[in-house]
């Protein structure tokens, strides 16, 4: 098969049009994580690749945890949003290796987490695991570093529960993994 040639049995296959990848990315920036509805799947870093293969939009998605209960819902919402935008048969590939890391969360995503009341991961997961450092968690309400860990698990397994000792507000911290 030559580049750009389509297989007759591929429903919805077509050559890539100018702007397809930019449109797909813009669509995906509006697909929010169901557990943290202010962070898009792009800002969360779970959409790792967007390209055009064999006449179809192809995405590589890595869930935040291999057992994340929202993975299938997220993939379904990604597919539905892309189909609604005119991509006839987008193909999603779930890739678990390398494992997702909080290092992949964009700066915009980190700001949106903070504004929503969740302390974003601090520093680099890869450096922290090598150095064995404890995170310096700042309160997303008042910005104080005078915080304490209440529980290793918050509202979801990927978060820990903290409390600010200054404003006394409890909050989730998105663990660095």
Which sign, positive or negative, has the C-alpha torsion 42, 48, 52, 53? Answer: negative
Confidence at 8, pLDDT banded by 50, 70, 90: very low
167, part of any domain: yes
pLDDT tens per residue across span 19-37: 889 999 999 999 999 989 9
- Tokens representing 158 are 């990927």
83, part of any domain: yes
The residue among 63, 125, 137 whose CA lies nearest residue 100 is 63
The residue among 8, 6, 1 whose CA lies nearest residue 16 is 6
Q: What is the CATH number of the domain that holds 74?
A: 3.30.300.130
Chosen domain end from 61, 94, 127: 94
Residue 7 confidence (pLDDT): 34
Chosen domain end from 44, 61, 94: 94
User: Do 113 and 64 sit in the same domain of this protein?
Assistant: no
Confidence at 132, pLDDT banded by 50, 70, 90: low
pLDDT tens per residue across span 136-167: 899 999 999 999 999 998 888 788 999 999 99
Q: Please name every residue paired with 56 in a beta bridge, in sequence order, or none if there are none.
A: 53
List of E strands, the chain: 47-53, 56-61, 91-94, 118-119, 147-151, 159-164, 170-174
- Do 166 and 155 touch, CB atoms closer than 8 A? no
**pTM greater than 0.85 (yes/no):** no
Q: Which domain holds residue 89?
A: 20-94
The residue among 42, 54, 45, 43 whose CA lies nearest residue 5 is 54
User: Do 113 and 160 sit in the same domain of this protein?
Assistant: yes
């Amino acid at each position: 098969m030559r580049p750009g040639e389509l297989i007759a049995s591929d429903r919805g296959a077509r050559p890539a049009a100018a702007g397809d990848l930019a449109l797909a990315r813009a669509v995906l920036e509006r697909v929010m994580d169901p557990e943290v509805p202010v962070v898009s799947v792009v800002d969360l870093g779970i959409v790792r690749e967007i390209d055009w293969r064999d006449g179809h939009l192809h995405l590589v998605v890595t869930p935040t945890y291999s057992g994340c209960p929202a993975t299938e819902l997220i993939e379904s919402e990604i597919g539905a949003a892309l189909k609604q935008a005119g991509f006839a048969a987008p193909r999603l590939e779930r890739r678990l290796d390398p494992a997702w890391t909080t290092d992949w969360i964009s700066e915009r995503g980190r700001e949106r987490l903070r504004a929503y009341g969740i302390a974003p991961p601090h520093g680099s997961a890869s450096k922290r695991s090598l150095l064995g450092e404890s995170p310096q968690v700042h309160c997303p309400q008042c910005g104080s570093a005078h915080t304490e860990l209440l529980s290793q698990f918050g509202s979801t397994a990927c978060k820990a529960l903290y409390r600010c000792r200054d404003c006394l507000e409890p909050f989730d911290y998105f663990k660095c993994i």
